[in-house]
Structure 1
Amino acid sequence: MSNRKAELETLRADLKVRLSRFEAHQHREDGALDKDFEEQASQTQNDEVVDSLEVETREELAQIERALERIENGIGDECESCGEPIDPRRLQVLPYTTLCVDCAED
């Protein structure tokens, strides 16, 4: 399980770096919008993509935090819905999952 915990901690660090880049983009730390209208339209469209990516990243980060909390409590390999063990192969593919395959499908 410590290998999974280390992997989750690495993922968490990567996501936090990604979030800081998204926030820098949103605060225009690289500069204000271009004066050219077409370029502004392109930059605004990029903002929408970055916003969507930020939402997805925050959701994934929350899942990782939840999985780490469960590992710390000694229940990281148990399905939080039914209490049965989560297949180790599933945990390899989705290290932040907290549900077994059956419960995830429901």
Structure 2
Amino acid sequence: MSNRKAELEILITDLNERLSRYEAHQQRKGGALDKDSEKQAQQVQNDEVVDSLEEETRSELAQIKTALERIDQGLGGQCEKCGEAIDSRRLQVLPYTTVCVACAEG
């Protein structure tokens, strides 16, 4: 379980760095919008993509924090819905999951 916890903590660091880059993009730290309207339209489109990526990253961070809390409580390998053990293969693929395959599909 400690390997999973370490992996999740590394993921948190990586995701926080990613969020910093997204925030820098949104704050136009690279410069203001271009004066050319076509380029401006492309930059606005890029902003929408970055917004979406930022939202996904924040969601993933919340899931990781929940998984870490469950690990600290001794419940990290147990499905939060049905209480059954989460298959170790699933945890390898999705280390921050808190539900077994059956509950995820249901």
TM-score tier by shorter-chain length is over 0.9
What TM-score results when the alignment is normalised by the length of structure 2? Answer: 0.98
Residue of structure 1 in register with 2:81 after alignment: 81
After the TM superposition, list the runs of 4 or more consecutive aligned residues in structure 1 that deviate by more than 6 angstroms: none
Matched, 1:100 2:85: no
> Whole-Å Cα distance in 1 between the matches of residues 31 and 74 of structure 2?
47
Letter of the structure 2 residue corresponding to residue 47 of structure 1 = D
| Alignment-derived partner of residue 64 in structure 1 | 64
Deviation, 1:10, is: 0.5
Which amino acid in the other structure matches residue 65 of structure 1? K
Distance across 2 between alignment mates of 1:93 and 1:41: 38
The CA deviation at 1:51 is: 0.4
Percent of pairs with identical residues:
74
The gaps in structure 1 that reach 5 residues or longer are none
Number of equivalenced pairs:
106
| Pairwise CA distance, 1:102 | 0.6
- Equivalence map 1:1-106=2 (5 Å): 1-106=1-106
Q: Deviation at 1:103? A: 0.6
Provide the TM-score with structure 1 as the length reference.
Answer: 0.98
| Structure 2: runs of 5+ lacking an equivalent | none
